[in-house]
Chain A
Amino acid sequence: AQSVAQPEDQVNVAEGNPLTVKCTYSVSGNPYLFWYVQYPNRGLQFLLKYITGDNLVKGSYGFEAEFNKSQTSFHLKKPSALVSDSALYFCAVRASGAGSYQLTFGKGTKLSVIP
């Protein structure tokens, strides 16, 4: 069975500082990895994905994530946090094989950027 772990329920960071939201995964075969963001009273919005190729992927709003196969991690990063980045962030994984359908989400990490 595939799974995602987001070890931190909450991350606090000062505005302008770099931020990291951690994610590790478990899946059979090669993974497809995703980050989503959820603002209050909204659905999840896609941020970025890793399918294949360069381990460092860049996404929306200045976010990036690094795929590390040996550590089975896909941490989300941003060089300089904004107050508007405060939201709930979800990491998700799906197996890459044909017929793989299920996107498994982590429990989410609440990011608070302090002015």
Chain B
Amino acid sequence: DAGVIQSPRHEVTEMGQEVTLRCKPISGHDYLFWYRQTMMRGLELLIYFNNNVPIDDSGMPEDRFSAKMPNASFSTLKIQPSEPRDSAVYFCALRRNTEAFFGQGTRLTVV
């Protein structure tokens, strides 16, 4: 978990509400990734950034999902409006050299 702080750790929200997940990489990296983990699909890559620029967002499931990285120390993943099927654990990860370092994740429950 070293090097990546995610907030909140848990989020429960009602269907239709906007949800913002946050990621703070606290050490040097060249890439930043957002993953989603569910029992059915395992780990899915949603989007990744290189030098704060979104490079590939083909994994983002729908237009309801968006991600930004305004600077090297902060990234957000937003879901608007949220749906129950978005319930999952969302991980931010950074890549340094060949290794990936994961945050502890945000467990999102949409009711």
Contact = CB atoms under 8 A, between A and B. Distances in A.
Interface string B38-68: 0000110100101000011000000000000
Contacts of B104: 41-43
Give the one of A43, A44, A102, A105 with max B CB within 10 A: A43
Contacts, number: 54
Interface in B79-111: 91, 93, 95, 98-105, 107
Given A49-B99, A103-B100, A43 B91 contact: yes
In the complex, which range does the number of interface residues on chain A fall in?
20 to 34
**Binding site secondary structure of chain A:** strand
Interface in A48-97: 49, 51, 90, 92, 94
Contacts of B1: 42-43, 45
A105 B43 contact: yes
A85 B104 CA distance: 19
Contacts of B55: 101
A29 to B, nearest CB: 15
Contacts of A92: 100
A46 B33 CA distance: 16
A105 B1 CA distance: 17
B102 A102 contact: no
Nearest to A43: B102
B60 to A, nearest CB: 14
B31 interface: yes
Contacts of B95: 101, 103
B4 interface: yes
Given A101-B31, A106-B42, A107-B42, A43 B100 contact: no
A45 B102 contact: yes
Interface of A: 32, 34, 36, 41-46, 49, 51, 90, 92, 94, 101-108
Interface of B: 1, 4, 31, 33, 42-43, 45, 48, 50, 55-56, 91, 93, 95, 98-105, 107
